[in-house]
Amino acid sequence: MMRAEVIFIPGPGIGHLGSLVEVSKLLVSRDDRISISILIINPSSDSSIHAFTQNLKEDAPDRIAFVDIPAPDETILKELMSKGPMNFLLSSIESQKTQVRDVVASILSRPESSKLAGFVIDMFCTPMIDVANEFNVPAYVYYTSAAASLGVVFYCQSLKDNENQDIYEYKDSDAELSIPSFSKPVPAKVLPSPMLSKDGSDRVTRLARRLRETKAIVVNTVLELEAHSVKSLVEDENTPLMYHVGPIIKLANGESTSQGQVSNEAIISWLDR
């Protein structure tokens, strides 16, 4: 029986990595002809990501394999880090396209290799669309956040392309924006702060354009939770096919109290208020 090999490329962050691995488990559980190789990009050699990945490997089915992508050498790493956190993330992923291409070619050269069916890439790994194109297979994006958030990304691009406006121009503004993925107007001042800078606005616009190049977008949401947002995206003829598969989360050891996270008690208290 010929298997279909799917390449998964998570973003280099525990939240993104854990969520995409959960999707890979769901996929192999649905069809025993599918094998998945998860390519782990860890540009900063973060020890916490390495430890988290080791835990994921222990819990993974046989048809899911993990492959570590070597970090850039120290010279390149220092140069990338000088660009700031977000630019470092995107530039480091861009810089590793050649390594990813070589790893995929190596996977396909094995005697027991399967037919390459496609790439599923994290929302921050859109440069890897180019690698999927080289292998002449479709690229799907896994969007870790919600459908309403994806709608904001596309809105930023639409604003730029159709009205020649940048979203960052609304910084400190009292304007309310009619974003299709929201049922009511959205105050500009509540948008994510990175969008409200020129550099961040440009990055979001570029991201939206690359997302539109994909075969489909897999969104970490559920229809009953975001009916309006999902409907607005599905009805947009310029948006790729969308699959809503969530909500999918992966909490370390089943808890949500690791460093940098808010305790369950604090969340429930906030909701009660």
Q: Closest Cα to residue 95, out of 75, 123, 116, 122?
A: 75
Which residues, in sequence order, are bridge partners of residue 8? 38, 120
Contact predicate 120/9, CB 8 Å:
yes
Instruction: Give the CA distances from residue 25 to residues 29, 34, 65, 216, in Å, rounded to whole numbers and listed in that order.
Output: 6, 11, 11, 19
Written as one letter, the residue type at 182 is: F
Q: Closest Cα to residue 69, out of 36, 42, 109?
A: 42
Catalytic residue chosen out of the listed positions 31, 59, 102, 122? 122
Which residues, in sequence order, are bridge partners of residue 119? 7, 139
Could you confirm whether 122 is annotated as catalytic? yes
Q: Which residues contact 177 (CB under 8 A, 6 or more apart)?
A: 155, 170, 185, 186, 187, 188
Could you confirm whether 161 is annotated as catalytic? no
* Residue 139 zone, left/alpha/beta (φ > 0; ψ -120 to 50; rest): beta
β-strands 4-9, 34-41 pairing? parallel
- Which residues are catalytically annotated? 16, 122
